[in-house]
């Protein structure tokens, strides 16, 4: 267990330092550097002045939203016409309209919540040129947004160019890393072929159709970009996506690698590595606590085994036996600490209190989080923490040498409240009406948790599923699609507006009364803000769901 813990959490943390340095130089090259001049020349020749000219935060956001709208429209067309597109060796047919909307919204927002099984519904063309393309550019969008936020907080009036950041991130960061990891996965036994499904003749003289495809390529960017969308319905529990202990460790490590490196990139762009150390430490402490809690809670036997001779065995229900309960619980903690959402076990089968761990990760949504956007979400808690501390000591709160005033706090609170509003509002609507109540696979608190988990996953842009839920209906497709879109863009737009507002202010000189943001004390302030605000927002619904489920199972 300790070896697994070390490989999955500590090794990526160590690798994130040099990767963060490389990402900074590749995405935000120093002025006049050879690489910067070379890439700028290529971008200017291929895209014109529009992809290299400096933008303020408003123009940056307009470019980002325009490109995301184009992404949405393009992939909608691809999925709507997949039955007539090439690379369809298994003859996949048309998709239902609300499923197309949900799927495109899911992949555009880096959520990859799947109300379908890829091997059943999608052609190779749809998977590669629709969904996998979005896995690259949606991840690049999040990293680009973080780079813009960092530049604004460093005091710059312009925050770069969205298209330049997007292209540099996609071609010089994500693509090389994905190629490297895909080759490792290929060596580990993950298939990579353009042939159609194989037909096997069994010993019982029956024919078995075995789906396959260019899986290694999609698997790599799925994990690295905190996308999570699997080629197969069972996701990383499927032996073609995750054949062995080697691939399991590799994929689990890759889930947190870039989110960790993004913190160091933020520190280097802002020129405040001390602050980055504090933020990284807080995130790491939360991740270690989550992972430890999941491992401990899932070590208890399933309630269904009560009174049986195997009652002392750890909960194996819903687990891929090649990995066991330990690897399944650790993956569940890691995939929901980030906005990855891939799974190697059935979250619906986790012990009730273990199921609270991935829910808490999605509710907080700042434990490294998705590539780029996890730190953007943490920025909101930092602003609130700074403001509260400033008011307590009777000073105007400051962050990075700029005063945090009423306009910034208003936007920060709006950004923080959007997340619980989407989760709790959607859950209340679907739990109180047949829209959701008629689709749950279990009654009582467990069924309520299934609905709660679905909206938590959509609002956190996570994409994992609690399962046991009939979520492929039109109401679920439309509702979660809208939630994913709102939860993706509002928490990017508002923080960039705050950073732009701070950048426009005059720097405040540092005095003895200035709250230092690179100290252990400030780390505890951030940690307290995250934990207490999260508890105030979600503790009641946690009691109604996983806690009540645990008490019900225990009493029976």
For the chain, the distance separating the N- and C-terminal CA atoms, rounded to the nearest angstrom, is 31
CA angle 466, 217, 230 (to 5 degrees): 15
H/E segment holding residue 411: helix 406-432
Residue 44: predicted pLDDT = 83
Q: Is the dihedral of CA 178, 181, 183, 189 positive or negative?
A: negative
**Position 3 pLDDT exceeds 90:** no
Residue 7: predicted pLDDT = 83
Reduced to 3 states (helix: H, G, I; strand: E, B; else coil), residue 198 is strand
**Residue 394 banded pLDDT, cuts 50, 70, 90:** low
Stretch 251-277: mean pLDDT, rounded? Answer: 94
Tokens of 367: 């434990």
pLDDT, the chain, mean: 88
| Partners of 198 in the β-ladder | 210
**Residue 277 banded pLDDT, cuts 50, 70, 90:** very high
Rg (CA), the chain: 23
* Side-chain-facing half-sphere of 73: CA atoms under 13 Å: 6
Tokens of 126: 């749809």
Stretch 397-413: mean pLDDT, rounded? Answer: 87
**Cα(350)–Cα(338) distance, rounded to whole angstroms?**
19
**Do 318 and 350 contact (CB within 8 A), yes or no?**
yes
336-359 confidence digits (pLDDT tens): 999 898 998 888 888 888 889 999
Residue 103: predicted pLDDT = 94
β-pair type (207-210, 402-403): unpaired
140-190 confidence digits (pLDDT tens): 999 999 999 999 998 888 898 999 999 999 999 999 999 999 999 999 999
Residues 6+ apart with CB under 8 A from 420: 363, 537, 538
Residue 96: predicted pLDDT = 92
**Cα(214)–Cα(170) distance, rounded to whole angstroms?**
20
Q: What percent of the chain has pLDDT over 90?
A: 51
**Do 466 and 357 contact (CB within 8 A), yes or no?**
no
**Cα(56)–Cα(58) distance, rounded to whole angstroms?**
6
**Cα(216)–Cα(181) distance, rounded to whole angstroms?**
9
Residues 6+ apart with CB under 8 A from 459: 362, 419, 422, 423, 426, 483, 484, 487
Residue 306: predicted pLDDT = 63
Residue 555: predicted pLDDT = 67
**Do 455 and 422 contact (CB within 8 A), yes or no?**
yes
Of residues 303 and 5, which shows the higher confidence score? 5
Stretch 440-462: mean pLDDT, rounded? Answer: 90
Residue 212: predicted pLDDT = 85
309-327 confidence digits (pLDDT tens): 665 667 777 787 788 788 8
Residues in the chain, overall count: 556
**CB atoms closer than 10 angstroms to residue 426:** 23
Residue 312: predicted pLDDT = 64
């Amino acid at each position: 267990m300790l070896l697994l813990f070390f490989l999955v959490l500590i090794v990526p943390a160590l690798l994130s330092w040099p990767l963060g340095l490389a990402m900074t130089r590749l995405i935000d090259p120093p002025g006049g550097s050879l690489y910067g001049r070379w890439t700028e020349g290529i971008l200017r020749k291929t895209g014109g002045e529009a992809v290299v000219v400096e933008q303020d935060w408003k123009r940056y956001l307009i470019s980002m939203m325009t490109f995301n709208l184009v992404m949405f429209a393009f992939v909608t067309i691809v999925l709507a016409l997949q039955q007539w597109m090439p690379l369809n060796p298994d003859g996949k047919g048309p998709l239902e309209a609300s499923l197309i909307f949900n799927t495109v919204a899911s992949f555009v927002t880096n959520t990859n919540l799947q109300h379908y099984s890829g091997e059943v519904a999608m052609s190779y063309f749809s998977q590669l040129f629709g969904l996998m393309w979005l896995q690259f550019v949606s991840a690049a969008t999040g990293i680009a947004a973080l780079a813009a936020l960092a530049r604004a907080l460093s005091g710059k009036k312009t925050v770069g160019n969205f298209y330049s950041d997007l292209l540099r991130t996609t071609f010089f960061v994500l693509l090389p890393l994905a190629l490297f990891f895909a080759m490792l996965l290929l060596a580990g036994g993950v298939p990579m072929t353009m042939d159609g499904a194989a037909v096997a003749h069994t010993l019982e003289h029956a024919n078995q159709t075995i789906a396959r495809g260019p899986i290694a390529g999609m698997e790599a960017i799925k994990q690295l970009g905190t996308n999570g969308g699997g080629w197969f319905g069972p996701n990383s529990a499927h032996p073609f996506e995750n054949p062995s202990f080697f691939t399991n460790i590799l994929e689990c490590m890759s889930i947190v690698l870039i989110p960790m490196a993004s913190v160091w990139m933020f520190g280097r762009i802002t020129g405040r590595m001390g602050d980055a150390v504090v933020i990284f430490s807080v995130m790491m402490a939360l991740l270690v606590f989550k992972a430890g809690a999941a491992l401990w809670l899932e070590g208890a036997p399933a309630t269904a085994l009560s009174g049986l001779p195997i009652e002392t065995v750890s909960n194996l229900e819903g687990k891929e036996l090649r990995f066991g309960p330990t690897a399944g619980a650790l993956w569940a903690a890691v995939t929901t600490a980030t906005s990855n959402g891939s799974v190697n076990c059935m979250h619906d089968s986790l012990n009730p209190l273990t199921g609270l761990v991935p829910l808490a990760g999605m509710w907080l949504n700042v434990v490294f989080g998705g590539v780029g956007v996890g730190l953007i979400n943490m920025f909101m808690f930092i602003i609130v923490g700074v403001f509260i501390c400033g008011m307590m000591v009777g000073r105007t709160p400051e962050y990075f040498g700029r005063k945090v005033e009423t306009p910034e706090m208003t936007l920060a609170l709006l950004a923080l409240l959007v997340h619980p509003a989407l989760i709790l509002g959607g859950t209340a609507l679907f739990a109180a009406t047949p829209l959701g109540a008629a689709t749950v696979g279990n009654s009582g608190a467990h069924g309520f948790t299934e609905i709660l988990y679905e909206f938590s996953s959509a609002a956190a842009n996570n994409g994992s599923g609690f399962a046991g839920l009939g979520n492929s209906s039109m109401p679920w497709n439309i509702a979660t699609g809208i939630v994913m879109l709102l939860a993706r863009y509002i928490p990017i737009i508002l923080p960039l507006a705050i950073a732009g507002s701070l950048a426009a202010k005059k720097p405040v000189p540092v005095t003895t009364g200035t709250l230092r943001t690179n100290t252990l004390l400030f780390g505890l302030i951030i940690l307290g803000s995250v934990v207490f605000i999260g508890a105030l927002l979600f503790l009641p619904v946690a009691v109604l769901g996983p806690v009540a489920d645990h008490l019900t199972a225990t009493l029976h």
